[in-house]
């Protein structure tokens, strides 16, 4: 007897879409985080204020509302610009919304990691004749990366689980597939239990990768 009533392949397709959604959001969100961190560390008050405002605003709003704002707000904006209704792709909206959320946290992680590097490290690098750029790439960033690795990895795992909220706007990821299977089979407990197990496998694999990365970083950076 097929416990999943023939919907196993659909759940696997949903899991694949979830991984794709998470990886795309991780890449774009990391870029947002770099930009946000760069803004927060500027001397210019306007730029620094913009960086802090972005982080505070996005972190203060539930991620579900960010998804709604991007999906429905994007459609409304494009409709006004083009004069006709434009439907936003659910996957693209999900990536952008999750990236905004992830980027706000990544910016704070990166800023904290950079500021944690002792100022004497910078001064020593300059004393050795390194330029600011050389000091940044060879001295500051390697140490900051080691500090940021664990919280960045943990936030990445949170991002993987947050992809579930994008199902609310019709993205065919894992939770959406589970909802469809649950409605068709009238077996919600079975379907959502299967989804829970899939999420456990995905987050478990991500945790193992994070632990391996931390061990490699400790080895190469002389922990």
Dump pLDDT digits (tens) for 135-161.
777 778 888 888 899 999 999 999 999
Residue 139 lies in a domain: yes
Long-range contacts of 138-142 (CB under 8 A, 24+ apart): 140/114, 142/221
pTM of the complete model beyond 0.85? yes
CB 153 within 8 A of CB 30: no
The owner of tokens 């696997």 is 12
191 part of a folded domain: yes
Q: Which residues, at least 6 apart from 195, have a Cβ–Cβ distance to it below 8 Å?
A: 11, 174, 175, 178
The predicted pLDDT at position 1 comes to: 41
Q: Give the contacts of 97 (CB within 8 A, at least 6 positions apart).
A: 63, 66, 67, 69, 70, 71, 166
Average pLDDT over residues 4-10: 84
Q: Looking at the predicted structure, is the pLDDT value of residue 217 above 90?
A: no
Q: Do the domain assignments include residue 118?
A: yes
Count of the separate structural domains present in the chain: 1
Q: What is the CATH number of the domain that holds 146?
A: 1.10.3720.10
Per the CB < 8 A criterion, the answer to whether 59 and 72 are in contact is: no
In a domain, 2, yes or no: no
Range of the domain at 58: 8-220
**pLDDT tens-digit profile of 12-44?**
999 999 999 999 999 999 999 999 999 999 999
Position 55 in a domain: yes
Is residue 65 a part of any domain in this protein? yes
Residue 1 within a domain: no
Q: Is the pLDDT of residue 120 over 80?
A: no
pLDDT digits (tens, 9 = 90+) for 46-101: 999 999 999 999 999 999 999 999 999 888 888 888 878 878 899 999 999 999 99
Q: Is residue 3 part of a domain?
A: no
Q: Which of 117-121, 127-131, 149-153, 219-223 has the lowest mean pLDDT?
A: 219-223
């Amino acid at each position: 007897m097929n416990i999943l009533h023939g919907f196993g392949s659909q759940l696997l397709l949903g899991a694949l879409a979830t991984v794709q959604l998470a990886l795309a959001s991780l890449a774009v969100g990391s870029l947002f985080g770099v930009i946000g961190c760069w803004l927060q560390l500027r001397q210019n008050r306007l730029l620094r204020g913009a960086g802090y405002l972005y982080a505070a605003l996005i972190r203060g709003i539930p991620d579900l509302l960010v998804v709604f704002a991007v999906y429905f707000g994007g459609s409304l904006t494009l409709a006004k610009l083009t004069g006709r209704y434009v439907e936003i792709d659910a996957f693209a909206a999900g990536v952008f919304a999750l990236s905004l959320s992830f980027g706000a946290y990544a910016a704070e992680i990166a800023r904290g990691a950079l500021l944690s590097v002792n100022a004497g490290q910078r001064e020593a690098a300059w004393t050795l004749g390194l330029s600011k750029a050389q000091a940044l790439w060879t001295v500051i960033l390697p140490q900051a990366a080691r500090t940021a690795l664990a919280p960045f990895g943990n936030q990445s795992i949170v991002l993987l689980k947050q992809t579930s909220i994008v199902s609310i706007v019709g993205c065919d990821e894992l939770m959406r597939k589970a909802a469809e299977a649950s409605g068709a089979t009238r077996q919600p407990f079975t379907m959502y239990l299967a989804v829970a197990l899939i999420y456990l496998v995905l987050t478990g694999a991500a945790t193992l990768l994070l632990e391996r990365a931390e061990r490699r970083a400790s080895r190469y950076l002389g922990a």
